[in-house]
Chains A and B, each alone.
Chain A
Amino acid sequence: MTLAVDVTSRRGAFEVRAAFEAEAGRTVALLGPNGSGKSTLVSTIAGLVPPVEGAITLDAAVLDDPANDVHVQPERRPIGVVFQDLLLFPHLSAMENAAFPLRARGVTKPEARRRASELLARLGLANRADARPRELSGGEAQRVALARALIVEPALLLLDEPLSALDVAARMRVRELVRDELARFPGVRIIVTHDPVEASILAERLVLLEDGRVTQIGTPEEIRSAPRSRYAADLVGVNAVRGVLEPIGEGTGRLISSEGTLVAPWPEWYVEGEVVGIVRPIDVTLWPDRPEGSARNVLSGRVTSVAIEGDRARVRLATEPQLVAEVTLGSVERLGLRPGVEVWASFKAVEVELLPP
């Protein structure tokens, strides 16, 4: 079974345009910063926000096709959704919440209660069946929401930020549970998150969403080795500069972006258009004064932040383009690195790795 999404959706002035596929048995994570359009996309797939263009299909079933006036109502879609703030019904018990989708489909009360009890027991909530949502802990409420989405065995399971409402301790426990439930769920599985760690733990395939557009699709490894946007690069901890190339001879070129210019080796495959230059923070060297030497990329700027991780520090620089450098704690001390200090950064042309966009 495959969900194919290729839509444009609008909410007010905000527009999301996204195309991706999700196959049964492989979890897809929609990963993006806040405001990137993840929630709008979730609402569109769930049928709450009809797309203005494009189509959503689940195998042969067309769920949305505005050009042909097709829009399957939310209640007729084989989709189980766990919303970001869960949206459990406050006037119903945990059991009644879990049984709701069955009752809505005309299953008799005793049968619905029996199946809800079974599922709640499997999720470790056997003794909380009679509790109202406000009496449940965050983790318990999360599990009730999961039970409610799973009980009718939908073809597609859609989890919107399943862990964001939980505290750190509960998050670890619920993450294990979500992972187990995802693993045993036979249909199409989509999770939405802004947390790259969560995404790479729970999903086999990532769809990166930025500012209403899909910027990259791939496995976590693929994105780690070849990030194609500033956001993706930030996620995996490298610098990325997107721009066009201009030859400057000797097998090198100038990567011109709106934020600044880098010198890079000329790639044989390049024909025209935009490319992404990756610079690993470990390759960026910092100096108190303009460095002498063979490095072709020499930039100056102020330090904007210094984050210490173990015996190393990640230093953000307001150079053009902006860079992150990874240095030793010794260097931090020797160069007096702290926000506001002017420094020079250098790296060789060959340390800029060019990737097709």
Chain B
Amino acid sequence: MATDSRRSPSTASSPLRRGRSPAGFVVLAALGVALVALPLLGLVLRTPWSRIAEILTNETALTALRLSLIVATTAAAISFVLGFPLAWVLVRSTFPGKTLVRAIVVLPLVMPPVVAGVGLLAAFGRRSGLVGSWLYDWFGIQLTFTTAAAVLAATFVSFPLAVLALEAGLRGLDERLEDAASTLGASRWYVLRRVTVPLLGPQIAAALVLSWARALGEFGATITFAGNLQGRTQTLPLAVFEQLQTDTDAAFAVSMLLIFLAFAVILGLRGRFLR
């Protein structure tokens, strides 16, 4: 009866027990924090602060930054545009195979990114891709090694985050407010625009920010599917990887920039994860 004893009022409401954590836990918790904090500290210490302005304004870094912003923003936008209707369908309708659909959509979250890249090649590759060969033969469109491929790779990994955030939002929405709106003369479109979307504001923001951040950091799928071409597919993480082999200082400086962007994202979520 472990659950019973945990719920019993004498332990749950005891102020003495609340404030005190087992000593072993404190040690393990501190180890956990160190695990995350040490690399951050290392980065801060190894970053060539005196050269950082010079490194980040050189051609390679600027090109990668610009490309990263384009790729991440486009991926987040696509994730939202496709994710909102999908979340809607998953929350508000029932159809056979719904569980399977959700499992497939969420899979990229736990899939090794390099496998995602291989999968994208299998689907959109020019020569043997399921859709890619057809696109090439009929329209002469080649996705691999283009910015579009980098966007596709980033979207693939960030889409589930957008869907999950929007699904949670829609699930928590009081549908009766939408019913009330329709009795007040609002068409379905008007209800969506004036009631549903505004009420989901925070969740929509979370979906955009999370998918943007995930897209910004994508490495494995991008390098596998889109390659590492400066100006076309070389996003910031790819630039870090390349520079690590040639100019370590530059690698640390660009890493610091990515950390800064990630930190901005967390602040942008207004402490959603900090409380």
Contacts and interface: CB of A to CB of B under 8 A. Distances in A.
Interface of A: 43, 46-48, 73-77, 79-81, 83, 85, 87, 89-91, 100-101, 103-105, 148-149, 152
Interface string B167-200: 0000000101101111111110010001100110
B187 A81 contact: no
Interface in B179-235: 179-187, 190, 194-195, 198-199, 201
Given A91-B198, A91-B199, A75 B183 contact: yes
Nearest to B195: A89
A163 to B, nearest CB: 18
A103 to B, nearest CB: 8
A220 B68 CA distance: 74
A152 B184 CA distance: 9
A45 B146 CA distance: 57
B180 A81 contact: yes
Contacts of B190: 104
Contacts of B176: 83, 85, 87
21 contacts: A46-B183, A48-B182, A74-B179, A74-B182, A75-B182, A75-B186, A75-B187, A77-B183, A79-B183, A81-B183, A87-B179, A89-B195, A90-B177, A90-B199, A100-B184, A101-B184, A103-B194, A104-B187, A104-B194, A149-B184, A152-B185
A87 B182 contact: no
Main secondary structure of the interface of A (DSSP, over half): mixed
Nearest to B201: A91
Contact of B180 (A77, A87, A103): A87
Contacts of A105: 185
B182 A73 contact: yes
Contact of B183 (A74, A85, A90): A74
Given A74-B182, A75-B184, A104-B184, 9 more contacts: A47-B183, A48-B179, A73-B182, A81-B180, A87-B176, A100-B186, A104-B181, A105-B185, A149-B184
Interface of B: 174, 176-177, 179-187, 190, 194-195, 198-199, 201
A105 B181 CA distance: 12
A100 B176 CA distance: 16
Contacts of A73: 182
A46 B183 CA distance: 7
B186 A104 contact: yes
B177 A87 contact: yes
Contacts of B174: 87
Please classify the interface of chain B as helix (H, G, I), strand (E, B), loop, or mixed, using the class held by over half of its residues.
helix
B181 A100 contact: yes
Contacts, number: 63
Contact of A48 (B183, B187, B195): B183
A1 to B, nearest CB: 19
Nearest to A83: B180
A65 B241 CA distance: 68
Contacts of B182: 47-48, 73-75
A104 B180 contact: no
A191 B187 CA distance: 26
A101 B185 contact: yes
A19 B194 CA distance: 36
Contacts of A91: 198-199, 201
B181 A89 contact: yes
Contacts of A75: 182-187
A145 to B, nearest CB: 9
Given A100-B194, A104-B190, A89 B177 contact: yes
Nearest to B186: A104
A244 B179 CA distance: 45
Nearest to B184: A101
Contact of B184 (A43, A48, A148): A148
A71 to B, nearest CB: 13
Nearest to A101: B184
Contacts of A149: 184
Contacts of A74: 179, 182-183
Most buried by A among B181, B195, B201: B181
A77 B187 CA distance: 12
Contacts of B183: 46-48, 74-75, 77, 79-81
Contacts of B185: 75-76, 101, 104-105, 152
Nearest to B179: A48
A95 to B, nearest CB: 14
A54 B234 CA distance: 66
A353 B26 CA distance: 80
A76 B188 CA distance: 11
Contacts of B187: 75, 104
Contacts of A77: 183
A91 B182 CA distance: 17
A104 to B, nearest CB: 4
Nearest to A79: B183
A83 B184 CA distance: 11
B112 to A, nearest CB: 41
Which residue of B185, B186, B190 has the most chain A CB atoms within 10 A of its CB atom?
A: B185
A101 B195 CA distance: 12
Which 9 pairs from chain A and chain B are nearest by CB? A87-B180, A104-B186, A101-B184, A74-B182, A104-B185, A81-B183, A74-B183, A75-B182, A101-B185
A113 to B, nearest CB: 15
A159 to B, nearest CB: 13
A101 B191 CA distance: 11
Contacts of B186: 75, 100-101, 104
